[in-house]
Amino acid sequence: MRIYELLYLLEGDLPEDKKKEVLLEVKKLLEEKGKILEEKEMGKRRLAYPIKKKIEGFYYLAYFSSPQDFLKRVSTKLNQMEGVLRHHIERIDEVYKKYGIPLPGEVKKEGEHVNI
């Protein structure tokens, strides 16, 4: 299985209960055929330009492993989810290994440095 990074953006004016519902739905989606390695909330930020008439959004980052054929389903479902403004999925395993960056879920040994 390959490792991917998913950055997704939720509407900034989404009520707290609806936001939790969407986050849970995304988590369940990724765990259908994959495994979530790490999740991060990046906070609420002003958008550079309006998206669907929204000027603020909540950014979330998730690292997950899954088969390659599952990505199309993830992308389709995220496009259909109410409250999700945008998303981007990027394969990261090869790039991280190339530069010696520890993959999400791995712990770098103390004293090791990343050379970029």
pLDDT on residue 101: 87
109 has a pLDDT exceeding 60: no
Residue range 13-34: mean pLDDT, rounded: 96
Structural domains counted in the chain: 1
pLDDT for 105 = 77
Mean pLDDT of the chain: 91
pLDDT at 53: 94
In 3-state terms, what secondary structure has residue 86? strand
**What sign has the CA pseudo-torsion 101, 85, 65, 68?**
negative
**37-86 confidence digits (pLDDT tens):** 999 999 999 999 999 999 999 999 999 999 999 999 999 999 999 999 99
Give the confidence band of 107 by pLDDT, cuts at 50, 70, 90.
low
Residue 30 belongs to a domain: yes
**Mean pLDDT, rounded, for 19-45:** 96
Please indicate, yes or no, if residue 90 is contained in any of the structural domains: yes
Q: Which domain holds residue 40?
A: 2-98
Report the pLDDT value the prediction gives residue 111, as an integer from 0 to 100.
54
Q: Are 2 and 96 in contact (CB under 8 A)?
A: no
DSSP state of 102: P
CATH number, domain with residue 53: 3.30.70.60
Token reading at 42:
């990046």
Q: Encoding tokens for residue 43?
A: 């906070």
pLDDT for 110 equals: 57
Tell me, yes or no, whether 82 lies in a domain.
yes
